[in-house]
Amino acid sequence: MTTILELKEKMIRFYGKNEVFITPVIKFVVAFVMFTLINSNIGYMKSISRMPVALILSLGCSIFPVNCMIFLVTAVILADLYALSLEVCLVALLLFIVIYFVYFRFSPKHGYDVLLMPVCFHLKIPYVMPVGMGLLREVWSVFAMICGTVIWFFLNGVKENAPALSATDETEGNTVSKIVVALNQLVGNKELYLVIGIMAATLVIVYIIRRMSIENAWTVAIISGVLFQTIGLISGYMLIGVSGKTIGVLIGNVLGALIALVIQFLFFNLDYSRTERLQFEDDEYYYYVRAIPKAFVSGSEKKVKRFAGKGDNGERLTKKQLAKEMDIDEDLLD
């Protein structure tokens, strides 16, 4: 454990010294993952669904704020959907307008969360996001999570219905049918409402518990959130008649719990064995404070003590003088 704590402190110091270089790299990686996923799943406009374009866009995102990345990702998605169907593109445009209103109104500083939600859904580990955000974010970050979840379900539904949506029949009935199919990915999707409800409740539960003045608050919050999310999703899927989700929910929540414990170690690792209770006062109040120190290990420092072969007057040291300087028994030098 000491070695791990030392490694953690080294990582923190390294990031602090090189933040100006590391942050653009992180933005580039997130942007590149997003554009790659878009190209591989809904890359209907071939002219922009290429690796060089993804690299150029990712480089641009690395030097701009994260909200600019969201605008670029939106533009690429709309271009791909336009290549698929004008009707779907219009529905998506209206959806993004609503999402932007909610996002910029309630959680404009949580752009990474909006982007990471679809990525986690694609990797089959979306369950880590409510728990992780409940540990690290404010309670209103739930709106960023909802925005990312809605985007994922809409785009995944469009992908599954791409053959019907790409039909070239321009009759009025077919146009209305495409709009209905696109809207049904949101309006008639019971799974979307279930996932949003359970994940939002999980985030709030984790947030409330981790702020309580109890020992191991973050651990209790993680366990409570994972259990609620697992039971809630499995029960919900049974109620709406969706099968084949139980194993995925169980495995996803176990992985989410492990990732959440890593987050706790990195951001909230406390040493409860050294808890102190303090009491002090000012002119108006008495204060009763419980202070819990962070688990911290400073890097080991090597001390090298040099012994000269000669004394201050230039003469060679005797065995007795050397033993005294080394603070050892003279007999050990025999």
Check pLDDT > 80 for residue 173. no
For residues 73 and 155, give the distance between their C-alpha atoms in angstroms, rounded to a whole number: 13
Euclidean distance between CA atoms 81 and 179, whole angstroms = 13
- Can you say whether the dihedral through the CA atoms of 97, 103, 30, 132 is positive or negative? negative
Q: What gap in Å lies between CA 98 and CA 103, rounded to an integer?
A: 9
- Cα–Cα nearest to 201, from 175, 173, 180, 230: 230
- Give pLDDT, residue 284: 82
What are the residue ranges spanned by the domains of the chain? 112-265, 304-334
- The candidate with the shortest Cα–Cα distance to 71, out of 87, 57, 59, is 57
The model's pTM? 0.79
Section 105-133 average pLDDT: 91
CB atoms within 10 A of CB 203: 25
Residue 323's pLDDT is 67
pLDDT above 70: percentage of residues in the chain: 83
Q: Is 80 exceeded by the pLDDT of residue 332?
A: no
d(CA 33, CA 30): 5
Distance CA 67, CA 64 (A): 8
Please state the rounded mean pLDDT for residues 142-165: 91
List, in sequence order, every beta strand (DSSP E) within 190-250: none
Instruction: Identify the pLDDT of residue 271.
Output: 62
Whether pLDDT at 315 is above 80: no
Average pLDDT score over residue span 129-138 = 92
